């Protein structure tokens, strides 16, 4: 299962975090900093899966952001690697070529999108139009 | 997204000044000011001061009777942001619930979102959410029904399941697929937190599995994966259904928007492969029902895309887990070989992982690739190195144990990670116990860290 999804920039500032297993608030910042350190110093030619403590991290680097997903042993690393990309594609669709700023200033909407894709640490939807449908409906209501 | 860096960098100065651009919340909005403030800080101490001030400001405003739901929404987002940075804002929890209760559309959705981020299963405030959810489930506005089902699927108090179950069950028959799908996911949540509460509705899961909409069917697979993991014997009669569904998916029978880079519903394929793997294990007749579709899946996943490799990996795992079939094993072995020999580092990693998984059944395969394995031992990427050691640990015998233990100790010596130390240290000890005579004669025991 997926333990958490993080979007962190190179300076280690968290732009989004969603935990699918309870992690005490006080421990999150340290965990996130540690996790990001684990990924930040990896070279381009190195693999995108990092053994971390007793679980694994799958990370992808997009411009100024690192998207890091914590997974348990049983999870298919490459499928999570592509899930991250699918998520970015959906964000690109919604924000028309998404940037770190879009994510920073629309944290609630990014969460709403992520909520459609992952629930209880499992992938529940990967079809772009279905993922975006609820948010688009809300946007339409807001403008009517 | 890489060319967006330029766009971001050029946009930054204007955004951090006071010009609001259309469609993007002004950086002079409270959230914008907060984020800008945090981004510019350099010390943890300053961050603490800023956030504490922010929390005081939020606390004042949430308690004010003049705050509109729209404003409350902004306040909740700011509170979520503070908690995201690790600063507790528990005073805002009740307001998140109120926002879900009293807000409409996006405001309501953000209320529910904030609740799902703030509260966990056992929080006593969660009980207050139940009435709001019950009301929204009965709404004529389908968007509200969706929101309610979404939050139920994320966080819900176990003891209140009986109060809401009938209504969720009713939604299983809704004409709109999104409602049926979300109802199934809510039931999945109930199954996870209180399986005995949903014992009586297994027939409804079957109905969802046969739903004409692929989304609803996919949702039911989550429940089935759980149930099959616990008691595979009880679900052997469904193998035919799972095989048929996988056949249809692999054969491209789903609507085109279920494709990801021209691959039909890859994550769904992986989910089905996992279920089949559990059902076919140690069961010859059941496994025989799957060989054809597994062969088909292997064949179809020909494209050079990461997602097809992910499917192939899962396929290979399944083939090696269920009752063996020679032709399939041969094809799977070839696949693993391709992974291990791949110049793409992620695939190499998967190849090593696959070898480790199959080595008990097919030690020869590791032997076949021993040159590559030896190369990986000296790889610059520590993750590859570690995975190789994992593999070697499993193919240790009387002849190679000394060399392997030496390599394990060498890695240990350079590692500063407690988990690595415990894991590899344990492996070395295990090998020492297994091959005492080979180990005693060596001077390896000088390494007493």
Q: Is the ipTM of this complex over 0.90?
A: yes
Residues of A in contact with B384 (CB under 8 A): 46-47
Who wins on pLDDT, B300 or B437?
Answer: B300
Question: Which is nearest to A53 in space by CA: A84, A88, A23, A13?
Answer: A23
Is B415:B423 a contact under the CB 8 Å cutoff? no
Provide the 3-class DSSP secondary structure of residue B283. coil
Mean predicted lDDT score pLDDT of chain B: 89
What's the whole-model pTM score? 0.92
Residue B448 reports pLDDT greater than 80: no
What distance in Å separates the CA atoms of residue A69 and residue B412, rounded to the nearest whole number?
26
Q: Is the pLDDT of residue B32 over 90?
A: no
Range name among B28-42, B337-351, B422-436 with the lowest pLDDT average: B28-42
Residue B427 has pLDDT above 60, yes or no: yes
CA distance A133 to B299: 34
What is residue B17's predicted lDDT score, i.e. its pLDDT? 41
In angstroms, the separation between the Cα of residue B129 and the nearest Cα of chain A is 18
Interchain pair A107, B80: CB under 8 A:
yes
B4 touches chain A (CB under 8 A): yes
- Out of B254-258, B300-304, B431-435, pick the least confident: B300-304
Residues of B in contact with A78 (CB under 8 A): 306-307, 309-310, 313, 346, 350
User: For residue range B168-223, what is the model confidence (pLDDT) as tens digits?
Assistant: 999 999 999 999 999 999 999 999 999 999 989 999 999 999 999 999 999 999 99
For B269, nearest residue in chain A (alpha carbons): A79
Task: Give the C-alpha separation, B261 to B439, whole Å.
Answer: 52
The alpha-carbon gap from A49 to the nearest alpha carbon of chain B, in Å, equals 8
Q: Which of B158, B191, B184, B150 is nearest to B170 (CA)?
A: B184
Q: What angle do CA B92, B95, B98 make, to 5 degrees?
A: 160
Q: What per-residue confidence (pLDDT) applies to B326?
A: 93
Tell me how far apart the alpha carbons of residues B130 and B156 are, in angstroms, rounded to a whole number.
8
Q: Does B143 touch chain A (CB under 8 A)?
A: yes
Q: Does B61 touch chain A (CB under 8 A)?
A: no
Question: Nearest CA to CA, how far is A38 from chain B (Å)?
Answer: 11
The confidence band for B444, taking pLDDT boundaries of 50, 70 and 90, is low
Predicted confidence at residue A142, as pLDDT, reads: 82
**Would you write out chain A's pLDDT as a tens digit for each of its 144 residues?**
999 999 999 888 899 999 999 999 989 989 999 998 889 888 888 999 999 988 999 999 999 899 999 999 899 999 999 999 999 999 999 999 999 999 999 999 999 999 999 999 999 999 999 999 999 999 998 877
CA distance linking residue B154 with residue B256, whole number of Å? 29
Per-residue pLDDT band at B441 (split at 50, 70, 90): low
The yes-or-no verdict on residue B418 having pLDDT over 50 is yes
DSSP conformational letter for B21: P
Percentage of residues in chain B with pLDDT exceeding 70? 91
Q: Which residues of B touch A43 (CB under 8 A)?
A: 381
Tell me the average pLDDT across B83-97: 95
- In a 3-state reduction of DSSP, which class is residue A10? coil
B233 within 8 A of B283, measured Cβ to Cβ: no
Strands A2-9 and A14-19 come out as: antiparallel
Give contacts of A124 with chain B, Cβ < 8 Å: 185, 218-219, 222
- Contact at CB, B27 and A105, closer than 8 angstroms: yes
Averaged over B283-300, what is the pLDDT? 95
Bridge partners, residue A123, by sequence: A118
pLDDT band at B323 (very low <50, low <70, confident <90, very high): very high
Tell whether B8 lies on the interface with A, counting CB pairs under 8 A: yes
| E-state strands within A2-139 | 2-9, 14-19, 49-52, 55-62, 65-71, 118-119, 122-123
Backbone angles phi, psi at A37, to 5 degrees: -60, -45
Q: Give the span between the Cα atoms of B129 and B124, in whole angstroms.
A: 10
Beta carbons of B111 and B100 less than 8 angstroms apart: yes
How far is CA B35 from each of CA A81, A138, B15, rounded to the nearest angstrom? Answer: 29, 25, 12
B344 Cβ contact list (under 8 Å, min separation 6): none
Residue whose C-alpha is closest to residue B209's, from B241, B174, B182: B241
- Set of chain B residues whose Cβ sits within 8 Å of the Cβ of A119: 150, 153-154, 185, 189
Calculate mean pLDDT across residues B365-374: 86
| Interchain CB contacts (distance < 8 Å): A and B | 176
For chain A, the distance separating the N- and C-terminal CA atoms, rounded to the nearest angstrom, is 40
B342 reaches A (C-beta below 8 A): no
Q: What is the pLDDT of residue A91?
A: 97
As beta bridge partners, residue A122 has A119
Q: Out of B27, B84, B215, whose CB is closest to A130?
A: B215
Question: Which has more confidence, B45 or B160?
Answer: B160
**pLDDT attached to residue B449:** 43
List of chain A residues whose C-beta atoms are within 8 Å of the C-beta of residue B140: none
Q: Does B43 touch chain A (CB under 8 A)?
A: no
Query: What is the chain A residue with the closest CA to B106?
Result: A138
| H or E element at residue B288 | helix B284-288
User: Nearest-CA distance from B364 to chain A in Å?
Assistant: 25
Question: Looking at the predicted structure, is the pLDDT value of residue B299 above 80?
Answer: yes
Which of B360 and B226 is assigned the larger pLDDT?
B226
pLDDT at B288: 96
Residues in B closer than 8 angstroms to A139, CB to CB, are 106
**Report for A79-83, A140-144, B48-52, B368-372: range of highest mean pLDDT:** A79-83
* Partner-chain residue, chosen from B5, B39, B85, that has the shortest CB–CB distance to A63: B5
Q: Tokens 């009777």 belong to which residue?
A: B65
């Amino acid at each position: 299962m997926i333990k958490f999804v993080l979007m962190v920039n190179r300076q280690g500032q968290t732009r989004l975090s969603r935990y699918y297993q309870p992690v005490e608030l006080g421990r999150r910042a340290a965990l996130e900093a540690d996790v990001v350190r684990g990924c930040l110093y990896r070279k381009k030619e190195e693999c995108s899966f990092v053994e971390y403590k007793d679980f694994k991290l799958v990370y992808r680097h997009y411009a100024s952001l690192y998207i890091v997903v914590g997974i348990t042993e049983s999870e298919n690393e490459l499928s999570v690697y592509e899930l991250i990309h699918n998520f970015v594609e959906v964000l690109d669709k919604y924000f028309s070529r998404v940037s770190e700023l879009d994510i920073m200033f629309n944290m609630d909407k990014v969460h709403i999108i992520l909520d459609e894709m992952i629930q209880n640490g499992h992938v529940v939807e990967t079809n772009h139009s279905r993922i975006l449908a609820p948010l688009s409906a809300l946007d339409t209501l807001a403008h009517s | 997204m890489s060319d967006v860096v330029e766009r971001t960098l050029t946009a930054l100065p204007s955004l951090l000044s006071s010009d609001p651009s259309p469609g993007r919340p002004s950086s002079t909005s409270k959230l914008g000011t907060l984020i800008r403030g945090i981004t510019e800080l350099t010390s943890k101490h300053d961050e603490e001061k800023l956030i504490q001030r922010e929390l005081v400001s939020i606390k004042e405003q949430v308690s004010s009777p003049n705050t509109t739901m729209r404003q409350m929404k902004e306040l909740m987002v700011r509170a979520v942001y503070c908690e995201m940075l690790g600063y507790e804002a528990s005073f805002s929890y009740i307001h998140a619930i109120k926002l879900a209760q009293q807000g409409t559309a996006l405001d309501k959705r953000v209320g529910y979102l904030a609740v799902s981020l703030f509260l966990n299963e056992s929080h006593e405030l969660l009980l207050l959410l139940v009435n709001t959810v019950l009301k929204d489930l009965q709404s004529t506005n389908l968007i509200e029904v969706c929101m309610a089902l979404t939050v139920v699927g994320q966080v819900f108090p176990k003891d209140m399941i009986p109060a809401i179950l009938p209504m969720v069950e009713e939604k299983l028959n809704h004409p709109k697929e999104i409602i049926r799908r979300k109802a199934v996911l809510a039931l999945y949540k109930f199954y996870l937190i209180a399986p005995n509460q949903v014992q009586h509705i297994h027939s409804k899961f079957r109905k969802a599995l046969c739903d004409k909409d692929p989304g609803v069917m996919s949702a039911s697979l989550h429940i089935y994966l759980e149930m099959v993991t616990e008691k595979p014997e009880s679900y052997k009669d469904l193998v035919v259904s799972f095989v048929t569904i996988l056949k249809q998916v692999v054969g491209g029978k789903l609507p085109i928007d279920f494709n990801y880079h021209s691959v039909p519903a890859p994550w769904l394929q992986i989910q089905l492969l996992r279920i089949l793997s559990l059902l076919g294990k140690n069961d010859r007749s059941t496994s025989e029902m799957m060989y054809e579709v597994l062969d088909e899946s292997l064949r179809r996943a020909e494209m050079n895309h990461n997602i097809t490799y992910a499917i192939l990996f899962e396929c290979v795992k399944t083939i090696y887990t269920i009752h063996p079939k020679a032709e399939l094993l041969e094809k799977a072995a070839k696949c693993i070989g391709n992974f291990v020999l791949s110049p793409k580092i992620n695939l190499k990693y998967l190849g090593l992982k696959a070898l480790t998984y199959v080595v008990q059944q097919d030690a020869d395969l590791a032997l076949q690739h021993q040159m590559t394995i030896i190369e990986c031992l000296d790889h610059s990427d520590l993750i590859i190195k570690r995975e190789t050691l994992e593999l070697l640990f499993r193919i240790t015998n009387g002849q190679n144990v000394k060399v392997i233990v030496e390599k394990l100790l060498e890695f240990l010596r350079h590692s500063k990670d407690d988990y690595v130390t415990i894991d590899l240290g344990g492996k070395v000890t295990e090998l020492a116990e297994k091959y005492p005579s080979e180990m005693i004669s060596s001077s390896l025991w000088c390494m007493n860290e």
